[in-house]
Chains A and B, each alone.
Chain A
């Protein structure tokens, strides 16, 4: 925490080069969130850059007691939401979790080879995750990939902790049901 504070102070004092450390340490987190929320590949890198420029511009507003990665994650999440609103992306407007739950399963899971099976399962799961609303995807990403707690995710996404917990539960339950269904098809 003290290191972060001194780093931010150095940048605020004009040492722009120190900002590179913030970029390097947080680009993975930013790219994960952007990847989960924005489908257009060409927009993703631009958005990541935009996020870091916002971080730099608003650095004087950063509260020194806070965790900088959570603050950056919140900026990323809001930047993506703004982007989706501007673009009127269907994922942000029309797709609800219920829509995804009611979708029919497509494609069979028939490879006998274990490694191919695993690869297919991975592809299948990724496709299922991508069909979920962006907020569900983001929660899955922040929890499983970034190891953030309910409290941290709740602060980043500005939603109650209970909502984080229930979204996470529903998303994983649905994904597991889809997996089970695939296994059962395979075994028939």
Chain B
């Protein structure tokens, strides 16, 4: 028998079933240790009480009262959800197009062009337009412009997705503080 008594943490983990592998060792100890058995019994009583504890009773017509107050409240229309989806799709399109152009994935373009999907075709059209535009420029300016476009896309993404989200969070905290 291990003479060391079980700790509060071990009792709680045991009852929370956090470390099932250790339960064998605990049960072994509990068989021979009266003090730890008493402690476990008290913890079990405590857990039972915590589980049985009830909140205050809401009035029977609580739901009705809430429903009767709803007409006074308007749900603000959230357009950001749709704007975010559209702008995310657009940004992904731009990034893919740039990647196609920069890496010159001819095999990738050939593979994509075989797939009859409007989305992939849109990527191709967009990628080809960008490629066509940059083809007129020399390589140095080309790279510089590419870097600029990438930075622009990242800034645009940050502004559209995260700045709105920040505003939403602050609105949320002020208005409802949920």
- Contact between A172 and B46, CB atoms less than 8 A apart: yes
The verdict on A179 contacting chain B, using a C-beta distance below 8 Å, is yes
* B56 pairs with A35, CB closer than 8 A: yes
B55 touching A31, Cβ below 8 Å: yes
B176: CB under 8 A from chain A?
yes
Chain B contact surface mostly: helix
- B47 interfacial contact with A, CB 8 Å: yes
Confirm or deny: A52 has a beta carbon within 8 angstroms of a beta carbon on chain B. Answer: yes
In the complex the two chains form, is A60's CB within 8 Å of B78's CB? yes
CA distance A173 to B71 in the complex (A): 47
Give B78's nearest chain A residue, CB to CB.
A60
B76 at the interface (CB under 8 A from A): yes
> A45-B59, A172-B12, A176-B42 given as contacts; is B49 within 8 A of A61 (CB)?
no
Asked whether A60 and B58 contact (CB < 8 A) given A78-B177, A78-B178, the answer is no
Does chain A have a CB within 8 A of B65? yes
B46–A179 touching, CB < 8 Å: yes
Give the chain B neighbours of A11 by CB distance below 8 A: 75
Chain B: number of interface residues, binned into ranges:
35 or more
Q: How far apart sit A31 and B60, CA to CA, in the bound complex (Å)?
A: 13
**Chain A count of residues within 8 A CB distance of the other chain:** 54
Using Cβ atoms and an 8 Å threshold, which residues of chain A touch B47? 144
* Contact A169:B8 (CB < 8 A) given known A49-B69, A176-B42: yes
CB of B103 closer than 8 Å to a CB of A: no
Taking a contact as CB atoms under 8 Å apart, the answer to whether B175 and A58 are in contact is yes
* CB within 8 Å of B: which A103-143 residues: 121-122, 125-126, 129, 140-141
Least CB distance from A81 to B in Å reads 8
Interface residue? B73 (CB, 8 A) = yes
Q: Looking at the assembled complex, report how far the CB atom of A171 sits from the nearest CB atom of chain B, in whole angstroms.
A: 9
Does B168 make an interface contact (CB < 8 A)?
yes
A30-65 vs B, Cβ < 8 Å mask (1 yes, 0 no): 011011100001001100110011111111110000
Q: How far is the CA of A20 from the CA of B67 in the complex (A)?
A: 7
**A71 contacts chain B at the CB level, 8 A cutoff:** yes
A49 and B65 alpha carbons, distance in the complex (Å): 8
Q: Using CB atoms and an 8 Å cutoff, list the residues of chain B in contact with chain A.
A: 8-9, 12, 39, 42-43, 45-47, 49-53, 55-59, 62-63, 65-67, 69-71, 73-78, 81, 168, 172-173, 175-178
Binding site for B on A (CB under 8 A): 11-12, 16-17, 19-20, 23-24, 27-28, 31-32, 34-36, 41, 44-45, 48-49, 52-61, 71, 74-75, 78-79, 81-82, 121-122, 125-126, 129, 140-141, 144-145, 169, 172-173, 175-176, 179-180, 183
5 nearest A-B pairs in the assembled complex, by CB-CB distance: A75-B178, A60-B78, A35-B55, A144-B50, A32-B55
11 other A-B residue contacts (CB within 8 Å) besides A49-B69, A60-B76, A173-B12: A19-B67, A23-B62, A27-B63, A79-B176, A125-B50, A145-B53, A145-B55, A169-B12, A172-B12, A172-B46, A172-B50
